[in-house]
Structure 1
Amino acid sequence: MPHYKLNYFDARGFGEAARIIFHYAGQEFDDNRFTHEQWPEIKPKSETGKAPWLEVDDEKIYESTALTRYLGHTYGLAGKDVMENAQIDSIVDTYKDFLNDARPYLMVKAGRGEGNLDELKPKYEESCQRWYTYLQKRLDKTKSGFIASKLSWGDLFLAEGIKTAQNFDDQIEKKYPKIVEYKKRVHSQPKIKEYIEKRNDTIF
């Protein structure tokens, strides 16, 4: 059995879906967390200068999507065939595109960036409408309650993103109730629910 070590900040962010998979699978791993203050000391250990990264014995996997996909395929959280896997990849990549559009507004709202909220809000709301509508269409098509025919690593990745969005925007549940129900459905799965209820929650 490989030895796993996940390196990421002491936050949910882009490392949390991997943590959830480990708990879902009952797989032991080193959860190496660090603060933003510690990052300058940790950063030289990352060959890309970014986090998260996953160590699997003497191999390292960088980029959150790649390492979460790897764990999903390892622990039965992939699609049933190549098309479903392609759809999962596509939806997660589209989510990251949405984040790029939404980030300026969210960063200012969180007090972590500079800008005018009133000027940034229209693009943010347009991005939300486009993204959540796209995601809902996929959920309606699969009829499984998930983005593929069963729970996948992509659902875990997206559910964490939706939770973070709710933390910064209290209108998400009002505007997109089915999307919030989707997040709750993912988080209510056996083994996942137990971890969610016990974890040290963070705003992002």
Structure 2
Amino acid sequence: MAFSFGQVFIVFVAAVCTIYYTGQAPKFMKLASEIVTGKKGCVPVRDIDFVTIHYFDVRGRAEAIRLMLEEAAIAYNETNFTMDTWPEAKKKGVASGIYTFGQVPAITMSDGTSLVQSQSIAQYIGRATGMQCDCESLHYCDVLARGAEDFRSKMSKILYDPAFSRDMRNDYIMNTAPMWLTYFEKLAPSLHKQETAPYFADDHLTWVDFIVFDLLDANVEFAKYDMGEPLISILDPYTKLNTFYKKFQAMPRVAAYLKSPRRRPYKIPKTPPPRVKPAST
């Protein structure tokens, strides 16, 4: 039995209206996107073949980017700077347009595309690799990422303070970090969810998971960095965060990178001078 064009059109319109008015449109569009592109997440972009990271030879704000490239098995190299070589490199990079705001990290790709701002870079890599957040959770991912940046800035503030001291370190470990870790513990996936999907957003790995892991890792390393003060296992009181941290570390490609010579050692800008011992009487 043949159907006329008009009949087919009416059925199509009815199906579209049903999807729309039953609130299933986002799910339908998500499924269609995954079928067409083979990638999870909102508005995927084309694959990335090769990346050059422009940054200093430290972990810093480039580490989450490195972790994402490792997990996605994307080949990359680095252009690293020292404090002596950076001023001239910055001048050239600003002139060429690669360092849009005179800052790094920046990345350049084999197709000529360049990007700056660490979280924007991470999100773009997520879109290219199926590690982007779903469209309906973009706002939540943005909240998590911006919160992570606020938390990160608290550590940066003291580390780059010319007057950085052991007392400042201890105040951060005992007061600032616990406050922010408590915030993130509330947002962390439940232990039940982490049994099958240990992710902060959606049911799959996203760029936000890398941002949060890198943030937690920086705090873990800082708390156990030997400055002559008591070393702290800073995540122990936070069961959900600690579970997420350990599960993320155990992902095969991430674990291989963390154990490899490609992983930079943890450093801080300067170690504060030792405490002055009171004179003996």
> TM-score under structure 1 normalisation?
0.83
The match for 1:150 among 187, 204, 208 is: 204
1:200 aligns with 2:273: no
> Following TM superposition, by how much is the alpha carbon of 1:15 offset from its aligned partner in structure 2, in angstroms?
0.8
| Percent of aligned pairs sharing the same letter | 22
Letter in 1 for 2:255: K
1:132 aligns with 2:186: no
The match for 1:21 among 55, 68, 72 is: 68
Higher relative contact order (CA 8 A, sep 6+): 1
Give the aligned partner of residue 187 of structure 1: 249
What's the RMSD between the two structures over aligned residues? 2.6
Question: Using the alignment, how far apart are the partners of 1:17 and 1:115 within structure 2?
Answer: 25
- Say if 2:151 and 2:180, in contact at 8 Å, map to a contact too: yes
- Say if 1:101 and 1:124, in contact at 8 Å, map to a contact too: no
Letter in 1 for 2:263: N
Question: Using the alignment, how far apart are the partners of 2:108 and 2:68 within structure 1?
Answer: 15
Give the aligned partner of residue 72 of structure 1: 126
The match for 2:88 among 25, 35, 41 is: 41
Question: Using the alignment, how far apart are the partners of 2:157 and 2:164 within structure 1?
Answer: 8
> Following TM superposition, by how much is the alpha carbon of 1:184 offset from its aligned partner in structure 2, in angstroms?
2.1
Question: Using the alignment, how far apart are the partners of 1:90 and 1:84 within structure 2?
Answer: 10
> Following TM superposition, by how much is the alpha carbon of 1:55 offset from its aligned partner in structure 2, in angstroms?
1.3
Give the aligned partner of residue 173 of structure 1: 235
The structure 1 segments of at least 4 consecutive aligned residues displaced by more than 6 Å after TM superposition are: none
> Following TM superposition, by how much is the alpha carbon of 1:39 offset from its aligned partner in structure 2, in angstroms?
1.6
| 1:97-140 Cα shifts (integer Å, max 9, x gaps) | 122234334x17xxx63156546855764432332122222224
Question: Using the alignment, how far apart are the partners of 1:36 and 1:176 within structure 2?
Answer: 37
Letter in 2 for 1:159: F
Question: Using the alignment, how far apart are the partners of 1:154 and 1:117 within structure 2?
Answer: 31
1:63 aligns with 2:117: yes
The answer for unaligned runs of 5 or more in structure 1 is: none
Higher Cα radius of gyration: 2
- Say if 2:123 and 2:207, in contact at 8 Å, map to a contact too: yes
Q: How many residue pairs get matched?
A: 199
Give the aligned partner of residue 162 of structure 1: 216
- The SS at the match of 1:15 is helix
The match for 1:30 among 59, 77, 88 is: 77
Question: Using the alignment, how far apart are the partners of 2:252 and 2:223 within structure 1?
Answer: 28
